[in-house]
Amino acid sequence: MNMKPLAGKVALVSGASRGLGRAMALALAEAGANLALVARDASALSELQHAIVDAGGDAVSFVCDVTVESDVSRMATSVKERFGRIQILINNAGINIRKPITELTPADWRLVLDTNLTGAFLLCHSLVPLMVGQGYGRILNLTSIMSHVALAGRTAYAASKTGLLGFTKALALELAPEKITVNGISPGPVATAMNQPIIQDPQLNAQFIGRIPLGRWGEESEVARLAVYLCSEEAGFITGTDVLIDGGWTAQ
């Protein structure tokens, strides 16, 4: 097995400052990729950048709100100036607002949809021009098991992730002639910061673990390793699909 399967590739990860984004960025850097790190938290981005550089990698951070078109456009220009091109784009930035429909405000709804779905569109719109013409490319969209099943109180999140799955399939067909693959990764219950409200509630935590056939929360590193594989040359015939990594949740 090639120990540096992404050597020389330029990868951009949104929402890179924490959680799955951070884990994937570190894994891609270990696999040899040069990283463009995108998030809103300048301090956390800087810490991650230094961690990658100190380990012998190459990383540059770009503070950007993926819901703001001018922010994304400016960031894309900076990435082009720094790297010239990219081969890998991971649309990971996302939020979840857990509320019943009667308490979910229109502002809540727009924030979730703008971050999880429109943000992926804006990044692809601005960055795909830096990917075409190379005969290789990888786009990963962090979908969710909520693209396939649902839970009460997740209307905005489920709508955004289901929309992102449809976006993934259509974009895969559009970019196939460029040999750019587009896939989703649908994590199930993973012990991220977003899920801490559940993990820290003993009753809710027990309920969740009771519904996971493997009997545990997933680890961020497990999703990160999957991302590295899907970005590698070995995954070149996988496109337009969604890979569930959920401990068996959706098999029930």
> Which active-site residues does the annotation give?
157
Within a 10 A sphere around the Cβ of 129, how many other Cβ atoms? 12
Distance CA 16, CA 93 (A): 8
Residue 32 φ/ψ region, left for φ over 0, alpha for ψ in the -120 to 50 degree band, beta for the rest: left
Among 72, 45, 71, 74, which residue's Cα sits nearest to residue 60? Answer: 45
Which pair of tokens denotes residue 38? 């995108």
Q: Which parts of the chain are beta strand (E)?
A: 10-14, 34-39, 59-63, 88-91, 137-142, 180-187, 242-245
Which pair of tokens denotes residue 185? 């990764």
